[in-house]
Amino acid sequence: MFEVVRLSKHFGGVTAVNEVSFSVNEGEIFSIMGPNGAGKTTVLNLVSRFYDVDEGTIQFAGEDITHAPPHEIARRGIARTFQNIELFERETVLQNLLIAQYIHRKTNIFSDLLFLPRVRRQEAQSRRFLEDIIDLLQLQRYREQQIHSLPFGVRKLVELARALCLKPKLLLLDEPSSGLNPEETEDLSFWIEDINKELGVTILMVEHDMNLIGQVSNRVLVLASGQPIALGTPVEVKDHPDVISAYLGT
Amino acid sequence: MDTFFQLLLSGIAQGCVYGLVAIGFVLIYKATEMVNFAQGDIMMLGAFITITLINHLNWNYFLAVVTVIGAMGLFGLTLERVLLRRMIGESPFAVLMATIGLGFVLRSVAGMIWGHDSQSILTPYTNIPPLRFGEVVFPVADVVVVGATVVLCGLTFLFFRYTRFGVAMQATSQNQLAASYVGISVKRVVGVSWALAAAFAAIAGILLLPLKSAYPHVGLVLGIKAFAAAIVGGFGSLPGAMIGGLAIGLVEIFTKYWIDDIVQFSVSETSVYILLLLMLIVRPSGIFTSMQRKKV
Amino acid sequence: MRFVLKTDYHRDSGLFRDRVQFSWYAALFIFVLCLPIVSGTYVESQLTTVFMWSIAGAGLMILVGYTGLISLGHAAFLSVGAYTHAIMLDLGVPMFVSIPLAMVLCSALGVVVSIAALRMTGIYLAIATLAFAMIVEKIVKNWSAVTGGNAGFKVAPPELFGWELDSTAYYYFCLLVLTVVMLCVSNLLRAPTGRAFIAVRDSEISAQAMGINLLKTKALAFAVSAALTGLAGTLLGYQWHYLFPDSFSMLTSIQLLMLVIIGGLGSMSGVVFGAIFITLLPDGIATVREWLPDSIGNLPGLEPLTFGFLLILVLIFEPLGINGRWQKMRLFFSQFPLYRNKTLKRQKSFLRTERVH
């Protein structure tokens, strides 16, 4: 359902991503791992179109999205989280989640200005939908709190919830476990599985925590210096000689 | 052709004044990432103090010039200490507004002290007859402005290239944290940047006096034009600011004499702003530096 | 302390937090409604001015306070609105046609500015709007065949369906317009469009990831903002009787910005606080002048001095303006013995540099 073909990205003279190809099947949890500077996050940024693709193509649900503008990506059904959390700091959790309903709105600026009955109904409907996500991730008690007053782990969850509120078909997670302690990471792995099974969301995850990857992923792609070096199940990849040498040096 | 050279010179002279004020903008921006919108008003203050010293206290011109430059440098230092240091960490917009407020204060204080009439001074070179090359007449005031600017630019270059403090300032402008790790006092660098910026503005004010007379609002419009110069030059580069200043000065004077007469409409008054707008639209990052998008 | 229990989803998207808040606003509205009966013409005209500046401020607040775009050139929209309206009145177009047309023209102009704005951020945008306003000002000044140039342009008195509005009627007219504007803006802010504005303000990256089109949203914010400011311009024209290019200079733009900052960024009540402030300040200074010795009291420029000084003080000590101070006072009383000085200590956000060397 999602396919990347010979994707490349150069920054000046540095080739951050070099001819990376992979495809993600519907319902799968696909991980990209690799040492620091391997170009994992760059791949994600290319997919969500924050960077322009230099070479190669990105296909999603049978359509070419290589040159779609960044705001189109969410509409096509791809949501993402960020490595360093990009939430709307001064707003409450609820407001953050409501913003994700923007792409599903059926009203325009004129009906908004007058707050016509259909805007009112839509607002109620959005909130009803959010409650499902809030229940799933157990965010009830943070609903009315402002983001900057929340601990880091909760913020990560809120960001995950916000991505889910877009009702995505494909969810991109950028280092979901970074900054979390082992227990939180453990919880996270359950939630990722829940999201995958209960909501039927396909997941593409960039991660360096081998345990988390081993627990949840179906397949793993290993990158080193922008080059793909191995692809397979977590167990296969773990013992791959190239992977070991990439991590430990030769 | 004669008019062309004459316009060229007076455009360059005016451009030098813009450039000097613009250098102040850039110095402060590089050191602190703050935009000081009161730069033109600091220039006005320098001009008025010079007028007082020379016209009312009968000081020698050169002594007055040196005193004013020193005093304004001190003023810049104080300003940073009293006002701007409190604004560290606020949004750039808040700082911009605070300096706009400062501009209001300076203008009205100047109006209270010196009144709202235009004033000027007699310089040692006021009575020297203009230089003539064939048919072309070069006013001495213009030549002095250009000459002084060239000397100043040279000194600035030497300062940043060869003095310890100049190098420290460059380092700080690139990375404050790293600079403080290697033992540079960032606070002092920021203070000196303000002092230098104010001193440059004062010099610009002194040089401007024979060209135009001073009144409390002189710094407002001139400041905006100098700001335009800094933007045309890329806002992060001292040579860029100077070149931007010259560009603005020349565009202004040539549209005034060539286009206004033809279209019977005062284009020259808007030409600077049109240039600025075009510059911002075509190359928002200016000629000499580049801005980068935030990383995620 | 009061707790709000939300028992259904509509409660959460309501205009007022609860009945108590609604009653306060209703009481305020009735008070303002009855005021002209008891007060003299002076209070009436001052309040009319407050209403008009509030409308202009609401326009700027959408842009600066909610979308995070800085405009140093909003006087241009004020000016375009006022002149378009006055010129159309002169041609015999009735008020209820010319005001909307002036607003449409202003919002079109706003969209044009915003298209240039997409590639710029922060200070650069501020300067671009400043340049834009300067150009508009010079055009108005030099195009004397249409605008009357420095000689001024006379504005026909307000007339609605053949009935000329006297000052009390005009007071009610402005109050009505302000109420509608405030309702519409509040509606906008609790609906998806307003949330998109706020998203763009807080994080452009995140807004894009949420499927918000930056260009479209910024253009929309500029359009709404310019239309409201233009509307205020048409109303101000009536109040001033004559339009001069100098009435819409850069200083007017800055005064508008002061209004939103001193009032309190990011709140609609702040707009009204700010409008009251900048309307009353000149009178306040005039009163203080009489108390001062002549040598100080008679100095010109006391007003800009006070403006500048207050602006600096507000930015240093209360960046959230009068509204922020008001909220803190309310919190203090509602939590009485528990409030501590550090409850709302603000965290300074450090600038993330965007420069490359």
Q: pLDDT tens digit string along B179-190?
A: 888 888 888 888
Domain match, A42 and A146 both: no
> Among A102, A128, A163, where does a domain finish?
A163
Rounded to a whole number of angstroms, the distance from the CA of C62 to the nearest CA of chain A is 13
Closest partner residue to C350 among B89, B174, B284, by Cβ?
Answer: B89
Q: Which residues of B touch A83 (CB under 8 A)?
A: 296
- Low-confidence stretches of chain A (pLDDT < 70) are 250
A241 and A172 within one domain: yes
Distance of residue C160 Cα from the nearest chain B Cα, in angstroms: 38
Report yes or no on B278 lying in a domain.
no
**Together in a domain, A106 and A228:** no
Q: Does C352 touch chain B (CB under 8 A)?
A: yes
Query: What is the distance in angstroms between the Cα of A46 and the nearest Cα belonging to chain C?
Result: 12
Closest CA to A165 of A89, A102, A86, A235: A102
pLDDT band at B287 (very low <50, low <70, confident <90, very high): low
Using CA atoms, how far apart are residues B50 and B45, in angstroms rounded to an integer? 9
- Provide the pLDDT for residue C7: 75
Report pLDDT for C351: 38
In this prediction the pTM is 0.88
Reply yes or no on whether the pLDDT at B144 is more than 80.
yes
Q: Which residue of C has its CA nearest to B108?
A: C301
Of A163, A183, A209, which residue is a domain's last? A163
Q: How far is B64 from chain C (nearest CA, A)?
A: 28
Q: Is the pLDDT of residue B172 over 90?
A: no
Which amino acid does the sequence have at A98? L
B178 inside 8 A of chain C by CB: no
Chain A: nearest CA to C72, how far in angstroms?
25
| Residue A82 resides in a domain | no
Cβ contact B103:B41 at 8 Å: yes
Q: In Å, what is the CA distance from A233 to each residue of A209, A213, B286, C268?
A: 15, 10, 50, 56
Q: What percent of chain B has pLDDT over 70?
A: 93
Buried b (16+ CB within 10 A) or exposed e, A117-132: eebbebbbebbebbbe
pLDDT at position C208 is 92
- Of A89-103, B65-79, B131-145, B191-205, the poorest mean pLDDT is in B131-145
Out of A129-133, B258-262, C264-268, which region has the weakest mean confidence (pLDDT)? B258-262
Q: Is residue B13 part of a domain?
A: yes
Closest-CA residue of chain A to B294: A50
- pLDDT band for position B292 (cuts 50, 70, 90): very low
Last residue of a domain, one of A147, A163, A179: A163
The domain tally of chain A equals 2
Contact C196, C207 (CB under 8 A): yes
Q: Are residues A73 and A103 in the same domain?
A: no
Let me know if residue B186 belongs to a domain. Answer: yes
Domain range holding A111? 90-163
Looking at the structure, do residues A176 and A154 belong to the same domain, yes or no? no
- Interface contact A100, partner C, CB < 8 A: yes
Q: What dihedral angle (degrees, nearest 10) is formed by the CA atoms of C219, C221, C226, C227?
A: 100
Mark whether A155 and A196 lie in a shared domain. Answer: no
Using 50, 70 and 90 to split pLDDT, how confident is the model at C229? very high
User: Are A202 and A179 in the same domain?
Assistant: yes
Per residue in C59-72, pLDDT (tens digit) is 999 999 999 888 98
Residue in C124, C316, C350 closest to B284 by CB: C124
Would residue B106 count as lying in a domain? yes
Q: What is the mean pLDDT of residues C315-324?
A: 82
CB–CB contact C353 B101 (8 Å): no
Taking CA–CA distances from C186, the nearest residue in chain A reads A113
Would you place residue C354 in the very low, low, confident or very high pLDDT band (cuts 50, 70, 90)?
very low
- Which chain C residues are closer than 8 Å to A73 by Cβ? 209, 211
The verdict on a CB contact (< 8 Å) between C203 and A123 is no
Task: Provide the domain count of chain B.
Answer: 1
Indicate whether A205 belongs to any domain: yes
Most trustworthy range by pLDDT among A67-71, A237-241, B70-74, B283-287: B70-74
Q: Compute the mean pLDDT over every residue in chain B, rounded to the nearest whole number.
A: 84
Is A71 found in the same domain as A131? no
What pLDDT was estimated at residue B258?
A: 78
pLDDT at residue C109 greater than cutoff 80: yes
B292 touches chain A (CB under 8 A): no
pLDDT at C342: 57
pLDDT of C356 reads 34
Residues A73 and A178 in one domain: yes
More confident residue, A101 or C341: A101
Tens-place pLDDT, residues C131-178: 899 899 988 988 888 888 888 898 888 878 778 888 889 999 999 999
- Chain C residues touching residue A111 (CB < 8 angstroms): 191
**Taking 70 as the threshold, does the pLDDT of residue C1 lie above it?**
no
> Do you know the residue count of chain B?
296
A144 touches chain C (CB under 8 A): no
Name the minimum distance, in Å, from the CA of A50 to any CA of chain B.
9
HSE toward the beta carbon, residue B110, CA cutoff 13 A:
30
Average pLDDT estimate for C31-45: 87
pLDDT of residue B28: 87
For residue A84, is it within any domain? no
Same domain, yes or no, for A6 and A25?
yes
Residue A85 counted as domain residue:
no
Q: What is the mean pLDDT of residues C23-41?
A: 88
> Does residue C92 carry a pLDDT above 90?
no
Per the CB < 8 A criterion, the answer to whether C185 and A95 are in contact is no
- The reported pLDDT for the residue numbered C297 is 65
- The residue segments making up the domain with residue B105 are 2-218
Cβ distance C188 to A112 less than 8 Å, yes or no, reads yes
Q: Do A98 and C195 touch (CB under 8 A)?
A: yes
Residues A56 and A129 in one domain: no
Task: List the domains of chain C with CATH numbers.
Answer: 41-338 (1.10.3470)
Cβ neighbours of A41 in B, within 8 Å: 296
Q: What is the model's pLDDT at position C349?
A: 44
Whether residue A84 lies within 8 A of chain B, CB to CB, comes out as yes
- Domain shared by A150 and A189, yes or no: no
Touching subunits for chain A (3+ Cβ pairs under 8 A): B, C
What was the pLDDT predicted at C355?
A: 38
Find chain A residues with C-beta within 8 A of C188's C-beta.
109, 112-113
> pLDDT: is A160 or C325 the higher one?
A160
Q: Looking at the domain assignment, is residue A174 inside a domain?
A: yes
Residue B291 has pLDDT above 60, yes or no: no
